[in-house]
Structure 1
Amino acid sequence: MPGAPESPAGELSSLQRGHLRYFPVVPGRLEFAAAVRRELLANRPGVVAVELPAWLQPFYMEALDRLPQFSVVVYPEGGESERGVYVVVEPADPFVEALRTAQEIGAELLFLEPNAIDRPHLPDLYPDSHSLRSILLDQYIEAYRLFPQARNDEINDHAAGMAWRLQGTDSTKPTTVVLSLNLFDAVLDAMEKPQDPPRDRKDLTAELVNPHPDCLAEISQEYPFLQERYEHYRALMGDDARVDRRRVQYELLKEAERNYLAQTGDAIAHWQRRMMARYTRNLAMLENQLVAGLFDLTVAARAVVDDNYAWEVWHAANSYAWQDEHTPLETLNLSAEEVYLHSRRMRLRRRLPRKKQRLMPRGLKERPKEKHPGEWAEQLDGNSICSYPPEDLVIEDYGKFLRERAKTILREERVRVEPFTTSVHDGIDIRETIRNWHEGKIYVRKFERLSGDVGAVVVIFDEDPLDRYTYMTTWLGEHQNESDMAYYATQPFDHLVGPGIGRAEYGGFLMVLPPRRMFDVWNDPDYDFAESKPERLLMAALDYSVERHVVYVAAKPPRSIFRSIAAHLNRQIIYIPIGQLSPTKLKKLRVVHVLDSHERRKVAKDFLW
């Protein structure tokens, strides 16, 4: 794959100890599964030793025969507890990949862990394995070993049991030892002296079950969509199986987008994609990772879009072509709480239209329909256009809301915090006081006077790089409380919903008070400097606004030159990212109906919804 470093067969030569070649891995991580496969295919050892319990070998061998289907080994926890221990056998696990590849090359298998249920719980604190696309494997291992994790007697005894099995291997057979990176140094130290046989338990029982297809994303360490891609790469690329999890993550989100569009009719905007990218990046940084996991992806999808899209992301991530519900084994629908000690929970509330809600009450008059195709188009006269008053009220109210939002931003920018001396001004700043508690001072807030009011409002839903919104017009307010408005939208009369009534979708609009002052913005030569429709609307807003401040709502701020233009006109642009506003409200606001005459207003209520 482009950008990935080469991994020569001799990369881990420093980990060779006689006939033993150690290969430390991060359990459950796809990149290490691919690295194990490349290592074994390159060196083809006679024996492959893996860090797995010896008494579970028959169950693992049965699970290998079922791959690429997932399997789960279940056994009692031990003692007086009635809980079970669930061990997931998944394709992208390095130990499972070591067993699969060993079978392919005809190597002997050796399970290293002692026959005991009480395995020590080791901290799984590793650098993100995605870094292996940028650095070599030995660099990753050496960087980890510089800061070894704490050991205790339990870990040392467990490592000694594994070392005893390795000391009994045939020195004439090259052996590759696949073990966890957090146990690697403990095993190396234990190999320095002869070890006694570990105490094995004889009363160990287990069972192999088939996990239900719906629960795979909860119980697997790598989500099924990613593991399915790994299986395809593994089959197609042979000994060079590499998967870029960022690319797979992109494919996952695109698949969820298509399903979301089919289910709800709503498309994901480009600004929402950018916001999800920033959000998931920040979530990954909080967990010291390079790439966000499935849980963080789902959280970002819910926060930026809605629960429906989050559910589509989770549902797509859970898809796995090979898992079957009906098998000779017992099928269990497991939860994350049953498999892992620590798990996170998130509740998604899907809101999809229900059949009973769409039923029309009996006795209500149906909406009028065309008597024949094209009837409504025949009634267009093209002499004038006007808006639908109920929609005017909605959009005017939203313009007032945006002006108030802008005022709030301006006030917050003009807040001054200072230590208390003679006056509390506008109140005590609790946050700043606590932050500087060691100084023994009280801090107060002082709101400086806001100069100028908020005038024009520009809202950009889509910058229209593909020239989809070809209907550009300017209309004037009909009374003193209605704004002049310039907008670009889809062609309304290409989608007729009634006689002379067209339905369109805003790409962006400008609102300015007082009314009846605006010329045709789209043909005004003063704005030919603009490189796009949003820029033309912004220039008109700066020109026509009678107040100092102009609100600009869009996915990204305007070019820096517009700050200079605004300053030259004694204006200031207040930018509000559209992602900070309610997507539900914006969705309702984007629909506009254009009537071809004032007479249509009398019958419009019978056709609009």
Structure 2
Amino acid sequence: MSEFLQISPRITVLPVIHGSGDFAVEVRRLMLSREFDCLAVPLPASFQADVERAVGHLPGITLVLQEELPNYRVSDWSPESEQRDDGGDERTYSYVPIDPCQPVIAALRFALQERMPRAFIDLEVEQYQPLGAVLPDPYALKEVSSETFAAAVLPMIPRLPAGQPLERAVVMARRLRDLEERYQSILFVCSLTDWPWIREAYTERHEPSLGDSVVEDTALYRPDPNTLVFLLGELPYITGLYERARSQLDDDENLSIDGVKEMLLATRERYEAELKSRARKITPHLLSTCLKYIRNLSLVERRLTPDLYTLIVAARQIAGDQFAIHLAETARDYPEMEWLPYPEIKMGIGRGELPDGEVAGLKSRLPGHPVVWRSCQLNRRPPKIDQQQWAMRWNPFRQCSWPPEDIAIERFRTHVKDHALSILGNDLALTEKFSTSLKDGLDIRETLRNWHTGDLYVKVFPPNRGSLDCVLMLFDSPADPREYPWRITWHAEPHDESTLSFFATSFQEELVGPGIALASYGGAMFLFPPKPIRDVWRDARFDFADTLEERLLAAACYHSNERHIALLSDAPPGAGWRRLAKKYGKKLIHVPFARFSQETVQQLRMFHVLNGQEVRSYAEHFIRKA
């Protein structure tokens, strides 16, 4: 390390950004590469015992709280002031987060393991005044040294305001002088915004005008696992990756970026495990697109690495609400979380709920980038208790569909029918030698076949390609009857809907709102124009069918008035299905799923069941897609 960060031959300063995993790695690298006989940190001595005890619990996350003394004011009495006093002032605490990605904590952890003397040199104050600052992204340390990083930021660091912040810098400079008399090589890890003024106070030999105040004792707490995102500098999942790399001696140099990729892969596993066949296909190409979008959003925010909001917005735009929700849940998971015998506190932004239920103000002694609330609307999953209540109120004799989904599936049915008609037309097309007109287009294959003659051949489609009144869609074939227990025939409501017979997953297992349930098609038969038919699943004429698909196919062949039936499926129909169609005098036109967007098909498979037509008035507030 160059002399730029040395304020004396015996004192080396490492300016850091609190809460940065990249700076925590830089601290470890420096302490491994050089010999120091003392570590100084910008924390008061009253925190030392509990902080060092908490560091011993790592990778378990804790925090050390110190209650601040109330600020008593002497003023004249008035009715308004009495009302304010009756309301009571909110209790406030300052705290030290025991976070593995905090550079100060990483330095203390290393010093404790190496039995290096530690000095807590900050000023004891009754009420701590935190100073936040917007600083460059620490990921730049991958390309520049810590000296270059500090030198580049130096011109933009504002001077500390007069009062407690400046006085704390003077006190720390004075105590560094005292340490210098006892140790030969001291490492001082402090905030990037403080080090120029500590250096100035040290160089100009400023003497402090304030002494240590009488403060409350500190106490150890464990955070609520669901609120770790408000405590840790990095995302909890990324912090867990740093700890895993540390325990397994893996490389953690680029975890601030590689961890995002691993988090997306873990999210995909959780997403597919929960939604199963209803989940979108999260392909490598889709993840690549998502990462590019994350990069672009990060650059718009003038960052090199993404924050949680950027990740959620990108995931929602690329893969949908449900993937974004799973990403948020994955990001807040800390795999190394351990239960510790301390009171639990729920964290928030600048506030926390104490074990007794009281809400108190919180101030971090190691403040990083300012954290603010940003809104992103996502349709969340309902709690289990709500689902149980909705299930108890469900009326089994009142069921209807949601009109927007009806319109979407009917448009898709029309699209499939048009594809089938085009395939039918191609099968019936004739080829003749070109004379005076191109007719229905040049027949390239036949022209090339007769290239040696020099003649051109054109296609001629017959004037009538026939018609289709039945479309059969098999989304999952072969279908497991245990996965699709719900089988029913629905008749059309408006005139532009089809008569629909289908087998699907049980909607009772997926209640998403009051009177709103979700199911997935396994297969469906559409008859248009609609006509009244007996329930396919109770019609004894089709009891000879062995599978769900065969029963739908037999019903389609029986009820269709046209000679051809459109069959949408992954694989073409086998000989058995063709014989079944021939038995009814029908012919199957296979339309492969590959002709359509898999994302579109996956979304169309999911449909909602409403417990009465009045539910349609508010259903859109609860309906969510994968």
Structure-1 residue corresponding to 2:548:
497
Structure-2 residue corresponding to 1:64:
55
Structure-2 residue corresponding to 1:193:
204
Structure-2 residue corresponding to 1:350:
380
Structure-2 residue corresponding to 1:405:
none
Q: Tell me whether 73-82 or 32-41 shows the greater mean CA deviation.
A: 73-82
The residue type paired with residue 344 of structure 1 is W
Q: Tell me whether 109-118 or 355-364 shows the greater mean CA deviation.
A: 355-364
Alignment equivalent of 1:235, drawn from 247, 252, 274? 247
Name the TM-score, length of structure 2 as normaliser. Answer: 0.58
Deviations 1:67-118 (A, max 9, x none): 1111122233443442323432211100001101011222110112111144
Q: 1:362 to 1:298 in 2, by over 3 A?
A: closer
- Report the count of equivalent residues: 413
The residue type paired with residue 499 of structure 1 is E
Alignment equivalent of 1:332, drawn from 345, 362, 370? 345
Q: 1:499 to 1:23 in 2, by over 3 A?
A: same
1:23–1:177 Cα contact (<8 Å) kept: yes
Q: 1:312 to 1:214 in 2, by over 3 A?
A: same
2:242–2:255 Cα contact (<8 Å) kept: no
Give 1:130 shift: 1.4
Give 1:37 shift: 1.1
Structure-1 residue corresponding to 2:303:
289
Deviations 1:516-560 (A, max 9, x none): xxxx999xxxxxxxxxx98xx7xxxxxxxxxxxxxxx97xxxxxx
Unaligned regions of 5+ residues in structure 1, if any? 1-10, 365-388, 401-475, 508-519, 523-532, 538-552, 555-577, 592-609
Alignment equivalent of 1:215, drawn from 207, 211, 227? 227
1:53–1:111 Cα contact (<8 Å) kept: yes
Q: Tell me whether 114-123 or 90-99 shows the greater mean CA deviation.
A: 114-123
The residue type paired with residue 190 of structure 2 is L
The residue type paired with residue 170 of structure 2 is A
1:542-553 correspondence runs (5 A)? none
Q: 1:392 to 1:251 in 2, by over 3 A?
A: closer
Establish whether residue 39 from structure 1 lines up as the match of residue 30 from structure 2: yes
Give 1:26 shift: 1.0
Structure-2 residue corresponding to 1:170:
180
How many percent identity over aligned positions? 21
> For 1:66, what is the secondary structure of its paired residue?
coil
1:404-415 correspondence runs (5 A)? none
The residue type paired with residue 103 of structure 1 is L
Q: Tell me whether 351-360 or 282-291 shows the greater mean CA deviation.
A: 351-360
Structure-2 residue corresponding to 1:145:
154
Q: Tell me whether 88-97 or 217-226 shows the greater mean CA deviation.
A: 217-226
The residue type paired with residue 222 of structure 1 is E
Deviations 1:270-320 (A, max 9, x none): 464344324322331232111111232123223433333222112212222
Q: 1:391 to 1:127 in 2, by over 3 A?
A: closer
2:309–2:374 Cα contact (<8 Å) kept: no
The residue type paired with residue 108 of structure 1 is P
Structure-2 residue corresponding to 1:14:
4
Give 1:63 shift: 1.1
- Separation (CA, whole Å) in 2 of partners of 1:210 and 1:148: 34
1:210–1:329 Cα contact (<8 Å) kept: yes
Alignment equivalent of 2:332, drawn from 318, 325, 334? 318
> For 2:204, what is the secondary structure of its paired residue?
coil
Q: 1:492 to 1:199 in 2, by over 3 A?
A: same
- Separation (CA, whole Å) in 2 of partners of 1:392 and 1:300: 28
Structure-2 residue corresponding to 1:83:
91
Q: 1:117 to 1:278 in 2, by over 3 A?
A: farther
- Separation (CA, whole Å) in 2 of partners of 1:202 and 1:143: 39
Unaligned regions of 5+ residues in structure 2, if any? 72-88, 352-361, 364-369, 399-405, 418-463, 481-546, 554-566, 572-588, 607-626
- Separation (CA, whole Å) in 2 of partners of 1:176 and 1:209: 29
Whose relative contact order is higher, 1 or 2, with alpha carbons under 8 Å and at least 6 apart? 2
1:257–1:267 Cα contact (<8 Å) kept: no
> For 2:59, what is the secondary structure of its paired residue?
coil
Give 1:51 shift: 1.4
Alignment equivalent of 1:92, drawn from 88, 97, 101? 101
2:60–2:336 Cα contact (<8 Å) kept: yes
Highest CA radius of gyration, 1 or 2?
A: 2
Structure-1 residue corresponding to 2:16:
25
> For 2:121, what is the secondary structure of its paired residue?
strand
Q: 1:218 to 1:170 in 2, by over 3 A?
A: closer
2:68–2:215 Cα contact (<8 Å) kept: no
- Separation (CA, whole Å) in 2 of partners of 1:291 and 1:91: 19
1:298–1:310 Cα contact (<8 Å) kept: yes
1:32–1:129 Cα contact (<8 Å) kept: yes
> For 1:498, what is the secondary structure of its paired residue?
helix
- Separation (CA, whole Å) in 2 of partners of 1:182 and 1:201: 24
